[in-house]
A = this chain, B = another copy of it.
Amino acid sequence: MSIPAAIPVPKQRMPSGERRAAIVNAAIKLFSQNGFRGTTTKQLAQAVGVSEPVLYMHFATKSELYSAIIETLAERGEQLRSMAARADAEKLDDLAFFRQLAHLLTAWHREDPSRIRLLLYSALDGHELSEMFYQRQVVPFLEVFAAHIRKRVEEGAFRPVDPLIAGRAFCGMLGQYVQSIHVFGIAQSEQEQQAALDEMVHIFMNGVKK
């Protein structure tokens, strides 16, 4: 009985780029769980499945790796912006648009909770790239939102609210709720979450419309 050829034996030797990506992914996971200082290079090497010096072939120092993962995550944050922009282009009515954005934001963080945790960790650490992370992860989403509000205010459908403040208000409600789940560990069932989001969307809608 021959062993089928395709057993995916974990590759021991990898092309440089792949290995680098593997390190970044492991680092995102560990740093988001334990923080930068709470993660040792030894742990990290074990998680990647290599020895410590391999890490230093790809990144000169541990904090260079920290910077690399923040940049990686910031880039991925562009996805959120484009998804939000796409929702805006769909010409949904206000309610559907707000619900769509709420869903986007929660799904985004549920799919990978390490993002919000690392965003907070890096901000608390005062990391030099933390502002860039915030600018590319949070602000774009907020801007798509604010742009929609501005338009609807001009069209006379909404009260003359400040679009940016209104955007902060909406994203704040959602963001804090997401945070209480993924950072503070408040347990919420799928239904509870859906109900909460709907209610928040409604409160906001009624709050801004004429």
Instruction: List the interface of chain A (C-beta within 8 A of B).
Output: 35, 37-38, 117, 120-121, 123-125, 130-131, 134, 159, 161-162, 165-166, 168-177, 179-180, 183-185, 195-196, 199-200, 202-208
Nearest residue (CB) in B for A166 is: B203
Within 8 Å CB of A174, what residues of B? 172
Taking CB atoms, residues of chain B closer than 8 Å to A37 are: 35, 37-38
**This chain's copy number in the assembly:** 2
**A134→B203 contact, CB < 8 A:** no
Pair A169/B165 contact, Cβ less than 8 Å: no
Chain B residues contacting A175 (CB-CB under 8 Å) are 172, 176
In the assembly, what is the distance between CA of A150 and CA of B170, in Å? Answer: 22
Q: Are B131 and A124 in contact (CB under 8 A)?
A: no
Q: Are A162 and B195 in contact (CB under 8 A)?
A: yes
What 7 pairs across the A-B complex have the smallest Cβ distances? A207-B207, A172-B176, A203-B207, A172-B173, A37-B37, A165-B199, A206-B207
Partner among B124, B173, B177 whose Cβ is within 8 Å of the Cβ of A120: B124
Q: How far is the CB of A167 from chain B (nearest CB, A)?
A: 11
Contact B35 A203 (CB under 8 A): no
Question: Quick one: closest B residue to A186, CB to CB?
Answer: B134
Nearest Cβ on chain B to A18's Cβ, whole angstroms: 30
Q: Which of B162, B180, B196, B207 contacts A205 (CB 8 A)?
A: B207
